[in-house]
């Protein structure tokens, strides 16, 4: 399977076989991601890291991944300190990043910005989140986490909770979980329901997601509870945000209804939707999930930049 110079814009650009291949290769990266083994298969390679929106995990785990592979990173985390401030276009910024590096990772508030960037770059472009669009590397690390914890995806009952309208992670994930044969339940405030087009994509894979409003009922049968933040920054109206934030909360009381081996995931950052008390329980997988961003991104960078196979 050849991934050399491939763009990573949407999880939909990858077949089931390709996704499984990346996830399998990721397993080999884990000891390198933990610093237990060492490699420099991307020595001399440079990643350009362009973050037009705030990030902790995605940016730092891409940097960690590149460093763990012996490569280097240039870029910015604050676009106001770049020539964008003087009116430079996205196209010209991408052209520059392309000429300084071997691959580009971009996070941008506008949906479609990563796909557009591919038109101005010869190097591969990796989408680190484009508005309410896609977040394919998050999707891969979510899949990797579920497979690692539950051995397989097929047949698992997975509840997606929270902001299903604007949440790019759940859009990518609902598609991929359907492709891989999971059973899906959606729980969200009425105004933040999963978009129809995402539900239709799930149906194309023979998955009929159910939508319910009662979280206790959803949690009862769940193997995986995937929680998301209500994203204040995507709301056109602050009043509407205030109406829905805090509507659902995962706490110790809720977990009395859960199966013993339920796992709770969250792409993070969390705000109020998971009580910190839950962190101490065996259900809490979200910090381990965030770590998995390193081996997943190592696998992708290595495959795309043509590093020697480990």
Active-site pick, 26, 45, 57, 165: 57
Q: Helices H, strands E: what count in the chain?
A: 12, 9
Of 245 and 268, nearer to ligand CP (C-beta) is 268
Distance from C-alpha of 56 to C-alpha of 285, rounded to nearest angstrom: 18
Tell me whether the omega of the peptide bond preceding residue 103 falls within 30 degrees of 0, making it cis.
no
* Nearest residue to 214 via CA among 206, 222, 224: 222
Active-site pick, 45, 59, 68, 135: 135
135 given a catalytic annotation: yes
- 57 φ, ψ to 5°? -65, -50
Q: Which stretch binds ligand CP (CB under 6 A): 97-105, 179-187, 212-220, 265-273?
A: 265-273
Active-site pick, 26, 45, 58, 145: 58
* Nearest residue to 33 via CA among 294, 264, 224: 294
Which of 48, 123, 134, 138 touches ligand CP by CB under 6 A?
138
The token pair that represents 246 in the structure block? 């805090």
The distance of closest approach from Cβ of residue 190 to ligand CP in the complex, given in angstroms and rounded to an integer, is 25
243 given a catalytic annotation: no
Of 207 and 301, nearer to ligand CP (C-beta) is 301
Which of 19, 230, 268, 278 touches ligand CP by CB under 6 A?
268
Using CB under 6 A as the binding rule, the residues of this chain from 165 to 224 that contact ligand CP are none
Of 117 and 127, nearer to ligand CP (C-beta) is 127
Active-site pick, 107, 108, 165, 229: 107
The distance of closest approach from Cβ of residue 309 to ligand CP in the complex, given in angstroms and rounded to an integer, is 28
CA 71 to mean position of chain CA atoms: 22
Q: Which stretch binds ligand CP (CB under 6 A): 95-103, 171-179, 232-240, 262-270?
A: 262-270
Sheet holding 72-76, edge to edge: 72-76, 46-51, 103-108, 125-130
By the rule CB under 6 A, 108 interacts with ligand CP: no
Whether 65 and 297 have beta carbons less than 8 Å apart is answered as: yes
- Half-sphere exposure at residue 95, Cβ-oriented, CA atoms within 13 angstroms: 6
Neighbouring residues of 223: CB distance < 8 A, sequence distance ≥ 6: 150, 156, 157, 158, 259, 261, 262, 263
Which of 75, 79, 133, 267 touches ligand CP by CB under 6 A?
267
4 given a catalytic annotation: no
Using CB under 6 A as the binding rule, the residues of this chain from 43 to 102 that contact ligand CP are 55-58
- Rule CB under 6 A: which residues touch ligand CP? 55-58, 129, 138, 267-269
Residues designated catalytic:
57-58, 86, 107, 135
């Amino acid at each position: 399977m050849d991934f050399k110079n491939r763009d990573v814009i949407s999880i939909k650009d990858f077949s089931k076989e390709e996704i499984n291949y990346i996830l399998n290769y990721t397993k080999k990266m884990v000891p390198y991601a933990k610093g237990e083994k060492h490699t420099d298969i991307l020595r001399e390679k440079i990643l350009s890291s362009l973050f037009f929106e705030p990030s902790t995990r995605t940016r730092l785990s891409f940097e960690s991944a590149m460093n763990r592979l012996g490569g280097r990173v240039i870029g910015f985390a604050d676009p106001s300190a770049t020539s964008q401030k003087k009116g430079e276009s996205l196209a010209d910024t991408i052209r520059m990043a392309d000429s300084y590096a071997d691959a580009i990772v971009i996070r941008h508030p506008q949906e479609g910005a990563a796909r557009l960037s591919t038109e101005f770059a010869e190097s591969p472009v990796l989408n680190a989140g484009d508005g309410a669009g896609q977040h394919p590397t998050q999707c891969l690390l979510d899949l990797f986490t579920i497979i690692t914890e539950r051995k397989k995806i097929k047949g698992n009952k997975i509840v997606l909770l929270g902001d299903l309208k604007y949440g790019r992670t759940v859009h990518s994930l609902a598609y991929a979980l359907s492709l891989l044969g999971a059973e899906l339940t959606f729980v969200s405030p009425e105004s933040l329901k999963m978009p129809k087009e995402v539900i239709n994509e799930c149906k194309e894979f023979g998955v009929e997601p159910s939508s319910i409003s009662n979280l206790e009922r959803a949690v009862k049968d769940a193997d995986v509870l995937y929680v998301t933040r209500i994203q204040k920054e995507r709301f056109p109206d602050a009043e509407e945000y205030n109406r829905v934030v805090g509507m659902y909360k995962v706490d110790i009381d809720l977990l009395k209804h859960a199966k013993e081996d339920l796992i709770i995931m969250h792409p993070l950052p969390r705000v109020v939707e998971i009580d910190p008390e839950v962190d101490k329980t065996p259900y809490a997988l979200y910090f381990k999930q965030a770590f998995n961003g390193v081996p997943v991104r190592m696998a992708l960078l290595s495959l795309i930049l043509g590093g020697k196979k480990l």
